[in-house]
């Protein structure tokens, strides 16, 4: 935003986020708030956690009371993804005509599918951004693939968080000329960098922060840590997060004989998590392809840990190799290989010089590729491009 401009003078981007906002969507809140040359107005079906995500310009366009009936009919009977009714599309069109945005940004591919009846009749530029699972899950179903291809066709541009996600969308049928890489932005001015040093007493503090779900590879983490703790018995592992695997993981830790060294904190707020990062040495994140096809983009918690100066032990999975340079800012192993992960952890713990060098490199990598301010300016440039593309179509 130029010094002489005011918020009311900025062009509007209508940011469609179905639920504004789930706790794990902090990165979306940051991205919307970081916009300067565009004024974001959020369109949502419902609002949650308003205290945690304070934002004034939110317009609620609720789902119809018959949504559950529609869900049963479309998903169970017709075996297709849910899409809005034509009258809902018309209602959304009226809302947007009132707001007069310069473009529409739809967050998540499956929401793009839901909005297909609107996208087919849209009169403004529309971007759809894919983040991870929305580029993987349900694509064994032909109807879902077909609907997603229609989203590709209707969207002006398609955004992805990682190159690997872009490649996946091309496999599904997206025109590669429509895809734009837009990285997750990390607020570096909020995260203190701490150069890590190997603990003199070998009391290594390991950390994994994530949802407790299969694609995060937590079973591999526990098995690898058990091997690591056999070499470094004063080591501890903290697992920060909540999710459906909690009791299973607690049981596994006890069965591995590491129950007293593994701590499950539940969900932590940003200040608590950053304090935990500051006192930890190794960030563990052995992501894997989940049974339902769910795959990572680039984990946000991992990027924040790197920004704080923590080397990463992770897997060659999804977009992780695009953030963690093997042998530079961390070490990468194959998925579901706890023996290789433990060996990498032991190797790094036994090499304090490399450990310190990787600490510096991890922070530098995030600063170079994932800075929130840089990524916000990049997104605004993509918005400008989408507007120009649609203007060119109108001229023709």
Output the domain CATH number for residue 72: 3.40.50.2000
* Burial track 321-336 (b if 16+ CB lie within 10 A, e otherwise): bbbbeeeebbbbbebb
Same domain flag for 220 and 170: no
| pLDDT value at residue 365 | 97
Predicted pLDDT of residue 140? 64
Q: Is residue 350 domain-shared with residue 383, that is, in the same domain?
A: no
Q: How many CB atoms lie within 10 A of CB 200?
A: 7
Residues 193, 181 share a domain: no
Task: Single out the residue of 184, 194, 222 nearest to residue 206, CA to CA.
Answer: 222
CA dist., res. 192 & res. 73, Å (int): 51
Q: Where are the alpha helices (DSSP H) in 269-351?
A: 270-278, 300-307, 320-323, 338-349
Tell me the residue range of the domain where 141 lies: 7-185+372-395
Q: How far apart are CA 192 and CA 87, in angstroms?
A: 50
pTM of model > 0.85: yes
CA 269 – CA 246 distance, rounded (Å): 18
DSSP track, 141-177 = SHHHHHHHHHHHHH-SEEEESSHHHHHHHHHHT--GG
Count the Cβ atoms, other than its own, within 10 Å of residue 187: 17
- 240 located within any domain: yes
Q: Is residue 360 part of a domain?
A: yes
Residue with tokens 């200040």: 271
Whether the CB-CB separation of 212 and 241 falls below 8 Å is answered with: yes
- In tens digits, the chain (396 residues) has pLDDT values of 444 445 557 999 999 999 999 988 999 999 999 999 999 999 999 999 999 999 999 999 999 888 888 888 887 777 788 899 999 999 999 999 999 999 999 999 999 999 999 999 999 999 999 987 655 555 567 888 899 999 999 999 999 999 999 999 999 999 999 999 999 999 999 999 999 999 999 999 999 999 999 999 999 999 999 999 999 999 999 999 999 999 999 999 999 999 999 999 999 988 999 999 999 999 999 999 888 777 888 999 999 999 999 999 999 998 999 999 999 999 999 999 999 999 999 999 999 999 999 999 999 999 999 999 999 999 999 999 999 999 987 655
- By the 8 A CB rule, do 45 and 62 touch? yes
Report d(CA 56, CA 297) in Å as an integer.
29
Cis status of the peptide bond prior to 21, with omega within 30 of 0: yes
Residues 175 and 192 in one domain: no
Residues 12/41, Cβ–Cβ less than 8 Å = yes
* H or E element, residue 376: helix 372-395
Flag whether 113 is in a domain. Answer: yes
Question: Are residues 251 and 315 both part of a single domain?
Answer: yes
380: DSSP letter: H
Provide the domain count of the chain: 2
Count Cα neighbours of 213 within 13 Å in the Cβ-side half-sphere: 13
> Residue 1: inside a domain, yes or no?
no
Residues 107, 218 within the same domain: no
- 3-state secondary structure at position 14: strand
Nearest to 107 by CA among 145, 165, 161, 154: 161
Residue 94 lies in a domain: yes
The DSSP result for 349-365, as a single string, is HT-HHHHHHHHHHHHHH
Q: What is the pLDDT of residue 295?
A: 80
**Do residues 153 and 272 both lie within one domain?**
no
In a domain, 71, yes or no: yes
């Amino acid at each position: 935003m130029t010094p002489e401009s005011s918020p009311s003078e900025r062009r509007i981007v209508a940011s469609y986020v179905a639920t504004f906002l789930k706790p794990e969507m902090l990165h979306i809140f940051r991205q919307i708030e970081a916009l300067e040359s565009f004024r974001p107005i959020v369109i949502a079906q419902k609002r949650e956690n308003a205290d945690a995500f304070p934002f004034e310009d939110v317009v609620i366009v609720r789902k119809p009371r018959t949504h559950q009936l529609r869900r049963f009919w479309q998903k169970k009977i017709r075996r297709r993804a849910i899409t809005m009714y034509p009258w809902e599309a018309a209602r959304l069109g009226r809302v947007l005509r009132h707001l007069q945005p310069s473009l529409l940004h739809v967050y998540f591919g499956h929401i793009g599918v839901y909005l297909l009846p609107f996208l087919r009749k849209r009169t403004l530029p529309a971007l759809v951004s894919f983040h991870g699972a929305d580029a993987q899950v349900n694509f064994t179903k032909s109807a879902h693939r077909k609907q997603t291809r229609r989203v590709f066709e209707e969207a002006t541009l398609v955004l992805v968080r990682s190159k690997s996600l872009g490649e996946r969308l091309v496999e599904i049928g997206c025109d590669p000329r429509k895809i734009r890489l837009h990285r997750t932005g990390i607020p570096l001015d909020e995260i203190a960098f701490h150069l890590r040093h190997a603990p003199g007493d070998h009391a290594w503090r390991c950390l994994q922060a994530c949802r407790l779900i299969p694609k995060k590879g937590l079973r591999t983490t526990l098995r690898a840590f058990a091997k690591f703790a056999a070499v470094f018995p004063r080591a501890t592992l903290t697992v920060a997060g909540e999710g459906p695997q909690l009791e299973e993981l607690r049981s596994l830790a006890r069965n591995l004989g590491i129950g007293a060294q593994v701590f499950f904190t539940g969900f932590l707020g940003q200040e608590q998590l950053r304090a935990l990062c500051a006192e930890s040495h190794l960030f563990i994140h052995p992501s894997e392809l989940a049974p339902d096809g769910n795959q990572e983009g680039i984990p946000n918690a991992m990027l924040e840990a790197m920004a704080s100066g923590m080397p990463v032990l992770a897997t060659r999975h999804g977009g992780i190799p695009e953030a963690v340079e093997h042998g530079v800012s961390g070490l990468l192993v194959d998925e579901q290989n706890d023996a290789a992960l433990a060996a990498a952890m032991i190797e790094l713990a036994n090499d304090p010089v490399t450990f310190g060098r990787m600490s510096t490199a991890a922070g530098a990598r995030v600063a170079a590729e994932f800075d929130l301010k840089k990524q916000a300016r990049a997104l605004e440039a993509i918005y400008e491009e989408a507007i120009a593309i649609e203007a060119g179509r109108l001229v023709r």
